[in-house]
A = this chain, B = another copy of it.
């Protein structure tokens, strides 16, 4: 839609009237931290740090024009005040209880919003230990087969919308990483998928059933974990059919975030990379789940892809063609909900001389993921009101393993992702792209 060589035409975007409901399968550390932060921000208790929709400015026109509005003043986004929250969980009954179990937020930060948090109840979940062997579900839906369970989710969605008086909904998967799987026949198209649910096909995981329920209900969907949810053909076809936007996958936090910042830097300066060793220690439910090799494999696949697409070894074999990339995750209870990522990077420069970089990132997973959930909710809602459907590639900025349009490799470089996001917004609103050429 953007035409660099003529004045861009803005899209016709419906206004953000009424309430926007945010539905999250998996009421754990990420979703409760998201909810708590939005509630705190609404009361002016905390700034929504990390959120582009709430904090970032966007430059318009040439730099001497000085036009630099906030994104939320430039694009017609829903406001935080107009948001309602809901979700499903196999363990916790409400967001307050879940937040306390997770231990991400201090009691002092939960206190002023505890009543409101308690009011966000979680619905019983579609859950199957086959996919997350380390967890034991106690609040689990029962049904004749997967089709029946998916219908229950569709009903949950409809009831939530009515009870919470929402105009529009968005769903963001905030549940655990599911066991590794590859695409199978049942994922080939919507008909195969529906038949599969009726036949209780073992290749259909809970996250896929949530995705199906969302897309079928016309609700945009984002997948915060690395498992297959909307990245097989049935989902793209169903989304196109119903005119629903979706995006994925795996929130870009912690070590991978660092990687997609650093690797473009090495490449910008044409420095070679001989090896990259990454280890993570984490002590929460996520760590426990990923201690299972099946679930780790899903995550590992998501994490390993990053470097290749940024560094382009096929184009730069001398620099990146012989790169040993090792990623490890270890369950280490003393770390609690915090996470620590240690990277060793072996680079080389002029005349092949080697250098080393060590990065120790003492990070907080949910703190980094929460603003992503908020941004995805608001941007997917914007996309839907702007008449967009299918894969939203411009949201690759938020993903560890961004889905890409057919045939073209995904973009992992966070700075190109950022330009793509901002230039897409500029294009939708009828502004010129920013090119940073000499005289701009």
Contacts and interface: CB of A to CB of B under 8 A. Distances in A.
Interface string A31-56: 00100110010000011111110011
A328 B277 CA distance: 13
Interface string A19-40: 0000000000000010011001
B437 A420 contact: yes
B434 A435 contact: yes
25 contacts: A2-B437, A2-B439, A4-B4, A4-B433, A4-B437, A5-B6, A5-B432, A49-B348, A52-B270, A57-B315, A257-B265, A261-B268, A265-B414, A268-B397, A275-B333, A277-B330, A277-B332, A324-B334, A334-B346, A342-B358, A349-B368, A358-B362, A393-B438, A411-B436, A419-B435
Interface string A181-223: 0000000000000000000000000000000000000000000
Interface string A307-320: 00000000110110
Given A279-B328, A408-B63, A351 B49 contact: yes
Nearest to A434: B435
A268 B415 contact: yes
Contacts of A270: 49-52, 55-56, 371
Interface residues on A, range: 35 or more
A101 interface: no
Contact of A281 (B277, B350, B424, B432): B277
Contacts of A51: 270, 350
A66 B304 CA distance: 25
A362 B49 CA distance: 25
Contact of A423 (B47, B361, B394, B435): B435
Contacts of A319: 49, 55
Contacts of A264: 261, 415
Contacts of A344: 281, 340, 342
Contacts of A57: 315-316
Contacts of A115: none
Interface of A: 1-2, 4-7, 33, 36-37, 40, 46-52, 55-57, 63-64, 68, 105, 109, 257-258, 261-262, 264-265, 268-272, 274-275, 277, 279, 281, 315-316, 318-319, 324, 326, 328, 330, 332-335, 340, 342, 344, 346, 348-353, 355-364, 366-368, 370-371, 393-394, 397, 408, 411, 414-416, 418-420, 423-424, 426-427, 432-440
Contacts of A353: 364, 367
A416 B318 CA distance: 25
Contacts of A397: 268
Contacts of A419: 419, 435-436
Contacts of A408: 63-64
Given A4-B5, A7-B5, A351 B265 contact: no
B360 A358 contact: yes
A46 to B, nearest CB: 4
B326 A328 contact: no
Given A268-B418, A355-B361, A355-B368, 9 more contacts: A5-B6, A49-B270, A49-B319, A277-B330, A279-B279, A326-B332, A355-B367, A423-B437, A433-B437
Contacts of A439: 1-2
B330 A49 contact: no
A123 B406 CA distance: 60
A324 B330 contact: no
